[in-house]
Structure 1
Amino acid sequence: MKNKVLIMLMGFFLFAHQLFAQDVSVSGNVKDEKGEALIGVSIQIKGTPTGNITDIDGNFTLSSVPANGELVFSYMGYETQTIPVKGKSVINVVLKEDSQALDEVVVVGFGTQKKVNLTGAVASVGAEVLENKPVANVGQALQGVVPNLNVSATNASPNASPSFNVRGGTSIGLDSDGKKWEIKNGSPLIIVDGIQVDTDYLNMMNPSDIENISVLKDASASAIYGARATYGVMLITTKSGKNDSKATVTYNMNLQWNTPSHIPDILDAYTIQLAKNKQAEMTGGTVTPWMETLLAAKKKYMEDPRPENAWIYNEGSTTNMTWVANMNPYEIGVKDWTPLQRHNISISGGSAKTHYYISLGYQRQEGMYTINTDVQNRYNINMNLNTNINKWLDVATKISYNTSNYNEPYMNYQKGNVWQAMKNDPGRNMNMPIKTGPNDPIPDTWTDNILGWLAYGATQSTKNTNTVFNITPTITICPELNVKAELTYRPTEYFQKRVIPIRNYVVDNWTTTINSHTYPSTVREETRHSDYYTINAYANFNKAFGNHNVSGVAGFNQEWYYYRKLYGEAEDILTNDLPTLGMTTGTQYTGDNEEHWAIRGAFVRANYDYAGRYLFEFSGRYDGTSRFGHDTRYQFFPSFSAGWRLSEEKFMANTRNWLDNLKIRGSWGSLGNQNVANYAYIASYGAAGYISWVMNNEQIKGMNPTGIIASDLTWETASTLDFGVDVTALKGRLDASFDWYTRRTTDILMSGTKLPAVLGASVPKRNSGELKTNGWELSLKWRDQLSNGIRYDIGLVLSDYQSEVVKFTGNPNGLLSTLYDGMKMGEIWGYETVGILQEDDFTIDENGKYVLIGPDQSKVHKTLYPGDIRYADLNDDGEISNGDNTLENPGDRRIIGNSTPRFQYGITGNISWKNLDLNIFFQGIGKKDVWISDNVFWGGDTAGNWEMYNNSWTPERTDAKYPMYAGRISSTTQSGYLFNAAYLRLKTLALGYTLPKAWVNKAKLSNVRLSISGYNLFEITQIPDLYDPDQISSAYPMMRSVAFGLQVGF
């Protein structure tokens, strides 16, 4: 009997298992909380690509649904719901509105705020802008993403570090050579997890570690950081774990291939010589027999490129020779493609009282040189640990270590920039000829051109290390009040070693010109060390009294910074096997530098809102800096802001079914700038070398005062007025924001009024300059879901600014060669082009020389010929000149353009369907003028390109696009050849596929994602194809990239 009962029970459970294991058909209806049918709701069987959508009445049907499976209901603007099937055939669902957009929290100074309650100008982006993009650093990923966050890079070498600017011109200062005054684009303060860092640190960070980036743009948002944040703040939050979550391990791999976006198509040696000969004919010169000989010799080599054809004797000489070979340095010295690989592994998780995030990253990027190539290796370690000690004490700990090692060929003063040298005449040798030793790897035809120098083997290696130690205890006094203390130590280490090795040469009896390769073998070592300490102690308060909400933060900040640099250099290395300072016998040089500074400040921010409708904020900071004297080093900088959420008013009640949020806001604030030299207020002495004193019949060395000091130097002050409007509508589908601002910087530190030369000292600096910047920025985003389950979003950011000098005391005569009152940033002065001169624009004098008909242009070009340029006589004085080069008398020059990038924009699109996702990002500039003065463009004795050569004026091609070939006008800025540098670039295109859960679970993995992406794929521009529109210069080229990515979760 017992056996029969057991068999019956087993049969019942087996039948029940089969019943629940089989598939069922499920139908139902989806409505909102008001009972209205929702059209196009996505219903998907969890873990599979199978799904359907609701019809016009909100109904749906799904067949072959596992009886024990789960259905996921998702719809734009509503919370996603996951519902177990449990064998049911009918499932009706009510979706709740998603308040995430209104509840979104934005990181601000020393805290967070709801986005809807912000009264300052703040933009925020998430980790998605950095993930799965083929970029080498954070800066590349941010270009064009945030309106008026201006990211620029002068080159794309593995060690390049893009620079950042917020909202345009910031101050006035001297250029990098310390000779010419210019409008500066200052950098924002960069804060990572509450710790101040520099751009080098940011660009060394592992992008995979970043969770969020907030950009504080106006004074009200930045004021709490005081003197360091005069020109905006970038707040970066790295990833952390979550409490009560299991350990998750994620591995990310990115394999990338880079190629230069633009390489100059340079002329060959024969064509350059042909152009020289033709120019001589067109300008009344003589094509000498030697010029004809060179032309024939170069042609011979190109037809028969044997080493013995690479040299000919100089005219009239039996001892010296000229190199007549040909080569294209770009074809030989630059790789077609170069690899970059990035690997990152992270582990995160947490218990009830502790959560953690730990990551390890490695990146290797090879450079573009085929000879003595450059390469960078970067290593990242990051750890965030948060522990709840007890009910009133939490402790957060952060440790990060970022280091990069960059090895590159070193170029001495005779060679300059590698890419600058590569454009030079491929048939020219600067100090030729030289024969190399029998065991020397350098080919004869490379000797002493740029490729020979690369093979020469001079190297420079740089190691840069940034470390951060931070501990932040938080004491919770009550639910409304807590106190934090952020204690940070950030040391940096820098070491650079430069080696110019010994080379052996055999010099034939027909040359003595070997000076370029007798540059002494040299070793140079340089170390830099800095220590940065920070203490931030502050209290946060947050309390609601009915409809009255009050919050605030008040605290103290102290920072110390110490820096030391030491270098040594020695010549004549004993052996290449041990190139150290101690293994040299020649002249030695040493030097050092040491400095420090400190900041101390107290800060406060108070927020009040009534029913989330009327919003007010006050921020202030009392700052002191060691860079000013005791009487002027402390100053208070306040800011005020307010907002009004019209969407919460009763008279807007009829709009609430489509208008989620409408807010207008305004702010004003002032901030001090302490970015001046250390000890500028202290009278000091400097080493003068030999001075005009003789003692014991020897001239002696000494010191002299550096100049007259103004002890009352004080802060530059930047005041910003901002008005903005924020809109969220249609259940979060539409998000828009607009800001207009004006910023005025006063008391800019600059040279004072000139004093009589008999004073014998430099003019003291004074707080006397003034600059204003006006601009605006727009951000739009639309997100939705189609009836077939496709989700998409489209975004646009657009911004513009103009900066103008209001007061510049260093130019009383109004010279155009420097800044002047009323000057706009980026102004280009030049002549107005009329056209290309033809034969009938001249008469021939009795000596057979051309005489121009019309205004005299001899002050611009002493001699003129058909094929040159005619300029407009704007002041009708019968001659073309620059007058006195002043505002009052500029001659025939005028403002012909502006090089400031205008209307910078980014266009983003994302599409996802089931497990597929596609991202596309366009970036560009709407307006920018540029004058190209590069001789590789205009052509000349040592360089040239086919575009110019094939389209330049000749007697047979009088309707040419360009004037006579030879670079005769490259230094004469004019309107006719001012290029429009506006562009539209496909910055990123990325396709990703996430493997279905059912597949990866079988492999005991949590997720697997594959991606393929491209970066800088193409651009539309009017700039000649010689240049990238972001880099109109001879520098390390910008890159186009393709990449394959893999993400695996365990």
Structure 2
Amino acid sequence: MYRVLHTAFAFFWGLCLVAQTTITGTVTDGSEPLIGVSVQAIGTSSGTITDFDGNYSLSVPAGSDSLAFSYLGYRPQRVAIAGRTVIDVTLGEATELLQEVVVIGYGVQQKDDLTGAVGVVSSEDLTDIPTQSLGQSLQGKVAGLQIIPSSGAPGADAIFRIRGVGTLNNADPLFVVDGMILSDISFLNPQDVASVSVLKDASATAIYGARGANGVIIITTKQGGDAGAGRVTLNVYAGSQEVVRTIDLLNATEYATLINEADVNEGRAARFADPEQYGEGTDWQDVIFRTAPIYNANLSFTGGGERGSFNVSANYFKQDGIIEGSTFERFTTRLNNTRQVKDWLTIGSNLSLIFNTADRIDAGGVIGGAYRSDPITPVRDSLGNFGNTAIFGSTGNPAATIFYTNDERSAYRAVGNAYADVRFLEHFTFRTNFGLDFDYDRERRFTPVFEVSTIQRNEESDFSSRTSYRRNWLWENTLSYNQDFGVHALDGVVGVTYQDNFGEFIRGARQRLVGEDPSFFYLNSGDPTTAVNSGGVDGGDWGLVSYLGRANYTYDGRYLLTVSGRVDGSSRFGENFRYGFFPSVGVGWNVSREAFWPDGSAVSRLKLRASWGQTGNDRIGEYAYVPRVSSTAGAVFGREPVLVVGSTLTGLANPDLRWEETTQSDIGVEIGLFDDQFVLEADYYRKVTDGVLYAAPIPNYIGANAPVRNIGEVLNRGVDLSASYRQRTQAFTYSLGGNVSFVHNEVLKVDGRGSDLFGGGLGIGGQLGTNSRAGFAAGTFYGYELDGVFQNEEELTQFAQLGSQQVGDLRFRDQNGDGRITAAEDRVALGSAIPDMILGVNGSAAYRGFEFSFDLTGQFGNEVINAKKMARFGAYNYEVDALNRFTGEGSSNSEPRITISGQNTETLSSRFVEDGSYLRLRNVTLGYRFASALTDRLRLQSLRLYVSGTNLITSQDYSGYNPEIYNGTVFDNGIDRGTVYPIARTITAGIDVSF
């Protein structure tokens, strides 16, 4: 028995020794060692990375017969072990782009076979920006893609514009996440994203037909790993935020001095006997802004086997706002998996579950109040009551606005899809894909009884609750074909898709709650006699059916042809024009693959391409092709009075609504130099949107809202340029890249009542600040041109006036020289919120574990209306440039005399239009990646520590917080009314670890 046990033990011990084989080696690029190459034992969870000298050492369990080597920018390689204990590997660079696979509509293509203009961003370029918004992470990354922060508020998303603004209604691009077509991506955790493809020209977007006119953004989330490549990854960071810049406003002494001067100028007695006694006074911006924390933790599990793979992640993100009372908190989970059930059948699913909560503030009341409130009034008086800022100006105390605001929002969202791929007849694959986007929102608002001033009070406590839901489902069935015939290659896809969207809301409110504790924040706690309610469609009620097809042909890798088309039928149009057809064609020529191309040429790659196509847009309200009616309060009829509820026409119909169509042409070139170490891509495009959908104004006497009509044409033309350079040495690796986009936007035609199309209300007697007439850019600022300041009585008689102006008031240019200043003849274009140029620059460097990266973003050629300087309804505070006011002849020819109201502040002129150009150091990150000698001892695959700064430095001439002003429509953008939440400067420190 002893011999048997001894033999068994020896045999077992021998197996254990055999089971752990140590393999060493060096990984190079043929001349220099590569640092940080991932080395994985296939079929196991054992892995490591190379050290500073490119060396690795890995214990390989029994059962693994090969090693996988992967490194960003190089082609992955799999090497059989074959009994060896020393394996040296040379990785070839993938920068020639031949191996880069790009996700496109309903498929993938190698970069070198593309005929369309597609920008690609990988996950490594998205994670350094501390934000929950993928959109803000993309800023400056892709030529032709403009990202505008919608707000600096916690949890705020971003606005996307691809190659300009091609419509007068909704100009958002289409989003596709793992095959699910969506209208927004605010739910996405940037750390879940594997790649982003930005489809810019018609050859790339026409496969999406009706919704491709504004471009398409395809997001692929991270999937499972290779067989046995189990990995756990933890990413954590924390930091603090502060306002990037504040506005230079008058202190209390300066304010009292200028208000006295305004009183005298307007014929009143000065109200402050001794301005000097007030000193600096209250800095209201210092009152409302704070340093706020930000946190993020992300945990992911990745694994796979021979028949399937999975990726599971959980993310927690919390951001307190730089204004007291505003917070955002989000928890996200994601589960992606695939399973090969049979050799011919693969199934998979992608599911994301999101829950978020937010405390919100009245940005207009707080930010606008801090801008306008007088600096003399204290935050609180000696009794602890809030100071009355309405004494001198009609504005509320911003600190009180924060204190008395209780506005909570919570939301649940589920986004996912399930699919099945069936392969048959060797070259065919049928895919059925069903996706669902479900969103449930709840908002609760409570205002207690309070009184700060006559304009800032609430006599009865009130509470309101609003709940809404929206569901959007998509079912797509496609059949794809792929086959090579010698030098010929052909692949294609045909399909049919169905999509349906519906949402509704219900709202209730009551006053006089029984208490102010949050436990009473329910409708039943209020007085039943004060109850009000409402409900209706929320998020749209529409459907779409589509038929699509595309074919890609390649001859010998040199000549490329892509043809695609899509037929869409939308419920938003009547039977007359319900269906639209959207075709495209693209061609390409890989010149550097020709036999005549010299070997060893400095130009290692040259590709020419061109495309033409049409796409559509149906983003208008539902049922615009039929009349809209609403119930009225009714009337009393009969001898015995009976209330009869009636209806009235509220919107006119247009049964002949047709598709908004965008026709786009694109010519592009791709160049690689010095073995593709330097890569350049350039595109010239021209796109015209015809039949622009818009409810152009009609005369008020008609008594109903204007019908949506096809009213005009909009042109966007421009150039997209991107370039990158990368160099590697033995211990030092660096890269530098950038992109620049030039765009010209112009309204070509406007039909309807006259040639003017006004918008952009400024809040002064209904005055409108933009005009989108033919020949202007969409949303062009429109007003009077400043011609100086009336210096003396002689100039009052010499120059034309607008109203009854006096010496020291602004003088406006008489454009037609008729001696009068009139709105019809003398207003001119004053600029546009659409930039002429958008810039992005990025760079990185790595040396023996140290890593450095930076991003610059900027835009140039756009303007901003500083509308918060206007609309003065009281003795508001002034910006410091008011100190340069006119005080007598020759004192100023740009800043008028101080007044509280009148033409100087109520008339839109070039005085209020400022340069909106900026250049921002968007991000700087410094990190250290520990060598494998340490990570191996800690049983880790990788370990990295870093610090990061975002929005560190901004160079701008605009006097406001931020020149990126988005107000919802093209007619309203770029108008700063003092209600936009400022962006923050953020410093974070984090750790990335995987094992």
What TM bracket, shorter-length normalisation? 0.7 to 0.9
Question: What is the aligned-residue identity percentage?
Answer: 25
Alpha-carbon displacement from aligned partner over 1:85-122 (angstroms, at most 9, x marks no partner) = x9999x99977565762110000011100001000111
User: Offset of 1:990 from its aligned partner?
Assistant: 0.5
For residues 370-519 of structure 1, what are the structure 2 equivalents within 5 Å? Answer: 370=324, 373-409=325-361, 416-426=364-374, 442-443=385-386, 449-451=396-398, 453-454=400-401, 456-503=403-450, 514=454, 516-519=456-459
Alpha-carbon displacement from aligned partner over 1:477-504 (angstroms, at most 9, x marks no partner) = 144211111111221101101111244x
- Cα distance in 1 for partners of 2:720, 2:638 equals 65
Contact 1:933/1:970, CA 8 A, preserved across alignment = no
Specify which of 581, 585, 588 is matched with residue 643 of structure 1. 588
With 116-125 and 133-142 compared, the bigger mean Cα shift is at 133-142
Confirm whether residue 877 of structure 1 aligns to residue 832 of structure 2: no
DSSP 3-state at the match of 2:254: helix
User: Offset of 1:796 from its aligned partner?
Assistant: 1.1
C-alpha change, 1:830 and 1:333, in structure 2 (3 Å) is closer
- Cα distance in 2 for partners of 1:68, 1:523 equals 65
Aligned to 2:12: none
Aligned to 1:238: 221
Q: TM-score w.r.t. structure 1 length?
A: 0.81
Aligned to 1:918: 852
**Mind listing any 5+ residue stretches in structure 1 that lack a counterpart?**
1-16, 33-37, 53-61, 174-183, 304-325, 508-512, 844-850
DSSP 3-state at the match of 1:245: coil
Aligned to 1:309: none
Confirm whether residue 941 of structure 1 aligns to residue 838 of structure 2: no
Specify which of 693, 700, 706 is matched with residue 749 of structure 1. 693
For residues 795-834 of structure 1, what are the structure 2 equivalents within 5 Å? Answer: 795-812=737-754, 818-834=771-787
DSSP 3-state at the match of 2:331: strand
- Cα distance in 1 for partners of 2:655, 2:329 equals 47
Specify which of 129, 136, 151 is matched with residue 140 of structure 1. 136
Aligned to 1:228: 211
The AA in structure 1 aligned to 2:618 is Q
C-alpha change, 1:690 and 1:611, in structure 2 (3 Å) is same
User: Offset of 1:655 from its aligned partner?
Assistant: 5.0
With 969-978 and 43-52 compared, the bigger mean Cα shift is at 43-52
For residues 235-384 of structure 1, what are the structure 2 equivalents within 5 Å? Answer: 235-281=218-264, 283=265, 285-286=266-267, 288=269, 291-292=270-271, 294-296=272-274, 300=277, 326-335=281-290, 337-370=291-324, 373-384=325-336
Contact 1:362/1:378, CA 8 A, preserved across alignment = yes
- Cα distance in 1 for partners of 2:403, 2:35 equals 67
User: Offset of 1:344 from its aligned partner?
Assistant: 0.7
Specify which of 165, 187, 208 is matched with residue 172 of structure 2. 187
C-alpha change, 1:1012 and 1:873, in structure 2 (3 Å) is same
DSSP 3-state at the match of 2:226: coil
DSSP 3-state at the match of 1:908: strand
The AA in structure 2 aligned to 1:842 is E
Contact 2:29/2:93, CA 8 A, preserved across alignment = no
Contact 1:937/1:948, CA 8 A, preserved across alignment = no
Contact 1:934/1:970, CA 8 A, preserved across alignment = no
C-alpha change, 1:776 and 1:453, in structure 2 (3 Å) is same
With 747-756 and 357-366 compared, the bigger mean Cα shift is at 747-756
User: Offset of 1:921 from its aligned partner?
Assistant: 0.8
User: Offset of 1:616 from its aligned partner?
Assistant: 0.6
Alpha-carbon displacement from aligned partner over 1:895-922 (angstroms, at most 9, x marks no partner) = 3433321110101111111211111111
Confirm whether residue 732 of structure 1 aligns to residue 676 of structure 2: yes
C-alpha change, 1:428 and 1:735, in structure 2 (3 Å) is same
- Cα distance in 2 for partners of 1:387, 1:833 equals 69
For residues 539-578 of structure 1, what are the structure 2 equivalents within 5 Å? Answer: 539-577=479-517, 578=520
Specify which of 843, 854, 862 is matched with residue 798 of structure 2. 854
C-alpha change, 1:922 and 1:686, in structure 2 (3 Å) is same
Aligned to 1:952: 885
DSSP 3-state at the match of 1:349: strand
Contact 1:269/1:425, CA 8 A, preserved across alignment = no
**Mind listing any 5+ residue stretches in structure 2 that lack a counterpart?**
1-16, 38-47, 61-66, 759-767, 966-975
C-alpha change, 1:626 and 1:872, in structure 2 (3 Å) is closer
Aligned to 1:35: none
User: Offset of 1:263 from its aligned partner?
Assistant: 1.9
Aligned to 1:979: 914
User: Offset of 1:1022 from its aligned partner?
Assistant: 1.9
With 729-738 and 931-940 compared, the bigger mean Cα shift is at 931-940
Confirm whether residue 715 of structure 1 aligns to residue 659 of structure 2: yes
Contact 2:413/2:438, CA 8 A, preserved across alignment = yes
User: Offset of 1:244 from its aligned partner?
Assistant: 0.9
- Cα distance in 1 for partners of 2:28, 2:939 equals 35
Specify which of 148, 159, 166 is matched with residue 162 of structure 2. 166
User: Offset of 1:683 from its aligned partner?
Assistant: 3.2
Confirm whether residue 929 of structure 1 aligns to residue 929 of structure 2: no
The AA in structure 2 aligned to 1:875 is N
Contact 1:272/1:944, CA 8 A, preserved across alignment = yes
Aligned to 1:535: 475
Specify which of 805, 827, 847 is matched with residue 863 of structure 1. 805
Contact 2:430/2:479, CA 8 A, preserved across alignment = yes
- Cα distance in 2 for partners of 1:397, 1:417 equals 45
Contact 2:589/2:609, CA 8 A, preserved across alignment = yes
C-alpha change, 1:871 and 1:560, in structure 2 (3 Å) is closer
Alpha-carbon displacement from aligned partner over 1:862-893 (angstroms, at most 9, x marks no partner) = 22224x334444433334x13x51xxxx23x4
- Cα distance in 2 for partners of 1:236, 1:521 equals 46
Confirm whether residue 770 of structure 1 aligns to residue 710 of structure 2: no
C-alpha change, 1:30 and 1:158, in structure 2 (3 Å) is closer
Contact 1:328/1:426, CA 8 A, preserved across alignment = no
The AA in structure 2 aligned to 1:928 is N
C-alpha change, 1:607 and 1:862, in structure 2 (3 Å) is same
User: Offset of 1:761 from its aligned partner?
Assistant: 5.6
C-alpha change, 1:642 and 1:539, in structure 2 (3 Å) is same
- Cα distance in 2 for partners of 1:760, 1:976 equals 37
DSSP 3-state at the match of 2:500: strand
The AA in structure 1 aligned to 2:512 is D
DSSP 3-state at the match of 1:171: coil
Aligned residues: 925
* Bigger CA radius of gyration: 1
Alpha-carbon displacement from aligned partner over 1:228-255 (angstroms, at most 9, x marks no partner) = 3221111000001123123211111010
C-alpha change, 1:80 and 1:44, in structure 2 (3 Å) is farther
Aligned to 1:317: none
- Cα distance in 2 for partners of 1:153, 1:31 equals 41
The AA in structure 2 aligned to 1:118 is L
- Cα distance in 2 for partners of 1:856, 1:94 equals 79
- Cα distance in 2 for partners of 1:156, 1:270 equals 32
Q: TM-score w.r.t. structure 2 length?
A: 0.85
Aligned to 1:128: 124
DSSP 3-state at the match of 1:417: helix
C-alpha change, 1:936 and 1:340, in structure 2 (3 Å) is farther
User: Offset of 1:1017 from its aligned partner?
Assistant: 0.5
DSSP 3-state at the match of 1:222: helix
DSSP 3-state at the match of 1:794: strand
